[in-house]
Copies of this chain bind each other. A is one copy, B any other.
C-alpha cells in the first residue's frame, strides 16, 4: 500500500498537551459553552484554556482569557467557535500562539477554505473543519463535542452530527461505543482518507465507521481504507448515492450503468469497505464484525424453539443470500434421538419445546452443528432469552447456556448470530459478553450473518494505479472510438467506409452478404433512429436501405460491415466512465437492446486485468449463458475479458473521455468481436484531465 500517514501532527488533534476553546461561553445554549464544558471534563489529562474576547475575569469557575496570546503556554489544540467573520483572524492568532492542531466549529466560506488550509499547512499544523462539530477521544478523555457518546472500540468519522448522535443511541444498548469521533466538516485540510489512516494506527480503535458525503480524492480515500482493512480493522461506511442530475446527465448506456452509485460500490468493493445504507445497519454490521469471525461460506443452520420462528428465519436468511442446506443423516439422527418427537431436525432445527425441559439443548446443538462440517455459521432465532421466566433456576441455566453458546462459536471459529424476542434481557446481555451478536429482529440477524458470509468470500485486489495519460483522443462518433479501441487490440467486425450506394454495393461484394449498413453521424442511440440496417441479404436490398438511410438522416458517410452471427452468441456491453471522485470505472453487462432494461452489470475501478475482467463477467446474472449452462457450449469468455481489460486501460489513459463503450460485444464460441463503439468527451475537458493527474499516487 502506498498510503502513509503524512508526517503531520494529527495526533495533536486527539491527544493534545493542552486545549484552548476560543469563543467559550457561559450561555448553556451555545456551542462555545458545550465545548468549554467538554474541555474542562478533560482537565485531569491536560490544561484547558477558555478564551473569549468579551469575557470577564472568570468563566465556568476558571480564569478566562481575552485572546490566545494571553495564555501561559502555547495551546497545542485550538477549538474555534466564533462568528464566521472572525475565523480568519482567530486562525492567524492560533498559529502565532503555536497551535499544532486547529478545529474550526464555525461555518466556513468554502471559497476561503483553501487559503486557510494552506496557511495552516505552511505553519506545520493540521486543521479540522471548518463547519465541523468537534472531536472526541474516549481513551484520552478529549470531549470537544456537544453531546456525549458511549465509549467503546468504534472509530467514527462523520459529516453529520445528528447521525453520530443516533449511532450513539443505537450502539449503547448493544454494548458498543466509540473510541474516537471526528466530525469532518468541509475537509479543507484533513479529509476522510487522512483520518482513516490515523484511526488505523490507533490501538483502541478496532473498527472504523464512516458517514461521508464528499469523498474528495476517491482513490486516495480507497487506498487508506484498503490499508486499514488489510491491517485487520473493518471499515463500515454509510454513503449516499447521488441521484438526479448526475444520473440524468449520462449520455450512453455505460454512463447510466456505471452511475455515481455504482462508482461508490466499485470503490468500496476494491477497498474491502462494508457498505451500509442506514444508521441501524451500521451498528448491526459493527456488532457482527466486532464480535464474530467472517463465515467461510454461505451455508447456515437455523435453530429455534417453535417451528414458526425457524421457518421465518430460514426464509429471511435465504432472501439475504444465505443457504440453509438440508443436513445429512449423520447430523439429524442424533438430533432426532435427543429431541421431542415433534422436533424438526433437518434445517431449520426446531426444538419443539425441547428447551423448556433443558435449555442446554441450545448450546449442545450449537456446538454439534458448528462442528459437523455442513454449515459455516449458526442462526439462533426466537424464544431464547425467555426461559428465564419459568423459574430462577431456569434463569441461571439460561445464562450459563448463553456463555456456552459463545464458547461453541469461539471453539469452532465460526459465527453464531442470534435474534431474540428478549433483546434487553439478561441472557441477551450474557450472549453479547460471550461474543455473540444479538439482534431484536430476524431481519437484522440475517443481514449480519450475510455480511459475515460476504466478508468471508472476499478476495481483495490492490486499488489499481492509473497509467500516464495518453494524448487526448480526437474526433467523435463510431469511427473515432473504433480506431482508438482497435489500436488497443480489440477486434472489430470488418467494415468499409462508403459515401454512395455504388461504393456500398462494391464493399458488400468484397465482404460477402448478409451485411449491415450504418449511417455515421452524431446521433446518439443510432439503432433507435433507424441509422442501422441489419441483415441485408443482397444488393437490391442494400441499395434500397442506402436510399432510405440517406433520405432520412443525410449522413456524411456510411459503413458497410459484415453481418455478425448474432444467434450464435450473446451480446455484452463493455464500457467505462470517468467518475469525478473515483476516476475511471469499468462496467460489463448484458448488451444490445436489453442493456439498460436489465441493469445486469458488474463495475470495478479501472483499469482491470484480464482475470479481474473475467471475474466481472462471471458475476453477471447472464453468466450461465456465457459459461455454457445446461449442455450448451461455453462461449469465449476469455476473449471477452481480454477486450474488457483492454478497454479499461484505454479509459484509464484517457481522462478526457467521460464515457467509452462497446455495445454490443458479440461473444461466440470462438471469439469476442465488437460490433459498435462510441465515446463521449467530458463536459469539463481540461479540468477532468487535471483531476486525473491529481489522482495519480
Binding site for B on A (CB under 8 A): 29, 107, 158-163, 165-166, 169, 211, 213, 238, 240-241, 243-244, 277-281, 305-309, 311-312, 315-316, 318-319, 326, 342, 382-383, 386, 390, 421-422, 441-443, 525, 528-529, 534-535, 566-567, 593-594, 597-598, 600, 621-622, 624-625, 630-632
A254 to nearest B CB, angstroms? 16
B382 touching A166 by the CB < 8 A rule?
yes
Residues of B within 8 A of A279 (CB): 312, 441-442
For this complex, 6 residue pairs linking A to B, each with C-beta atoms less than 8 Å apart, are A158-B308, A160-B308, A213-B307, A244-B326, A597-B622, A598-B600
A311 touching B162 by the CB < 8 A rule?
no
A394 to nearest B CB, angstroms? 10
A160 touching B315 by the CB < 8 A rule?
no
B528 touching A632 by the CB < 8 A rule?
yes
A83 to nearest B CB, angstroms? 14
Residues of B within 8 A of A535 (CB): 567
A163 touching B621 by the CB < 8 A rule?
no
Interface centre among A166, A281, A382, A421 (most CB of B within 10 A): A166
Residues of B within 8 A of A342 (CB): 107
Q: How far is the CA of A281 from the CA of B238 in the complex (A)?
A: 23
Residues of B within 8 A of A160 (CB): 306-309
Q: How far is the CA of A566 from the CA of B421 in the complex (A)?
A: 56
Known: A160-B306, A169-B421, A238-B312. 6 other contacts (CB 8 A): A160-B307, A160-B308, A162-B305, A162-B382, A529-B631, A597-B625
Residues of B within 8 A of A386 (CB): 165
A316 touching B441 by the CB < 8 A rule?
no
Interface centre among A159, A441, A443 (most CB of B within 10 A): A441
Q: Which of B240, B534, B630 contacts A528 (CB 8 A)?
A: B630
Residues of B within 8 A of A625 (CB): 593-594, 597
Q: How far is the CA of A160 from the CA of B350 in the complex (A)?
A: 12
Q: Which of B162, B211, B443, B632 contacts A278 (CB 8 A)?
A: B443
B315 touching A241 by the CB < 8 A rule?
yes
Q: Which of B163, B319, B624, B631 contacts A308 (CB 8 A)?
A: B163
A352 to nearest B CB, angstroms? 10
Residues of B within 8 A of A326 (CB): 244
Residues of B within 8 A of A243 (CB): 315, 318
Interface centre among A162, A307, A382, A529 (most CB of B within 10 A): A162
Residues of B within 8 A of A241 (CB): 315
Which are the 4 A-B pairs with shortest beta-carbon distances?
A160-B308, A162-B306, A163-B308, A280-B441
Q: How far is the CA of A566 from the CA of B566 in the complex (A)?
A: 11
Residues of B within 8 A of A319 (CB): 277
B528 touching A278 by the CB < 8 A rule?
no
A280 touching B443 by the CB < 8 A rule?
yes
Q: How far is the CA of A98 from the CA of B544 in the complex (A)?
A: 91
A621 touching B593 by the CB < 8 A rule?
no
Residues of B within 8 A of A281 (CB): 443
Residues of B within 8 A of A158 (CB): 308
A630 to nearest B CB, angstroms? 5
In the complex, what residue of chain B is closest to A446 when comparing beta carbons?
Answer: B278
Residues of B within 8 A of A442 (CB): 278-280
Q: How far is the CA of A159 from the CA of B535 in the complex (A)?
A: 60
A40 to nearest B CB, angstroms? 20
In the complex, what residue of chain B is closest to A514 when comparing beta carbons?
Answer: B537
Q: Which of B163, B382, B390 contacts A309 (CB 8 A)?
A: B163
Q: How far is the CA of A525 from the CA of B443 in the complex (A)?
A: 38
Q: How far is the CA of A308 from the CA of B162 in the complex (A)?
A: 7
Residues of B within 8 A of A597 (CB): 621-622, 624-625
Residues of B within 8 A of A631 (CB): 528-529
Q: How far is the CA of A436 from the CA of B415 in the complex (A)?
A: 39
Q: How far is the CA of A165 from the CA of B383 in the complex (A)?
A: 9
A422 to nearest B CB, angstroms? 8
Q: How far is the CA of A165 from the CA of B309 in the complex (A)?
A: 11
A419 to nearest B CB, angstroms? 9
Q: Which of B161, B238, B240, B311 contacts A213 (CB 8 A)?
A: B311
A421 touching B165 by the CB < 8 A rule?
yes
Residues of B within 8 A of A244 (CB): 326
Q: How far is the CA of A390 from the CA of B146 in the complex (A)?
A: 12
Q: How far is the CA of A387 from the CA of B159 in the complex (A)?
A: 21
In the complex, what residue of chain B is closest to A389 when comparing beta carbons?
Answer: B147
Interface centre among A163, A529, A631 (most CB of B within 10 A): A163
